[in-house]
Amino acid sequence: MPLPDVTLTVTFPDGSVADLGPFTPAGDRLGFVATVEVPAGTSSGEAAVDDGLGGPPYTFRIGADD
């Protein structure tokens, strides 16, 4: 049975949210690639990408480490 589409959102360190759109798992590993464009002037900190399925988000750091 194919995996369902997911809609990804990213939450930036300042709390603003961007919709990355729907993605359909495909290929041998049932994955996909999402590109996140970080707006100019975004403060440093942790950003989180959520797939809306209830699992933990994927997190990454924006900016320099303090």
**Phi and psi of 28, rounded to 5°?**
-60, -35
**Is residue 41 in some structural domain?**
yes
Give the whole-angstrom CA distance, residue 40 versus residue 42: 6
SS3 string, the chain, reads CCCCCEEEEEECCCCCEEEEEEECCECCCCECCCCCCCCCCCCCEEEEEECCCCCCCEEEEECCCC
Check residue 65 and give its pLDDT.
63
- 1 part of a folded domain: no
pLDDT (tens digit per residue) in 12-63: 999 999 999 999 888 777 778 889 999 999 999 999 999 998 999 999 999 8
In a domain, 25, yes or no: yes
Number of domains in the chain: 1
pLDDT of residue 66: 56
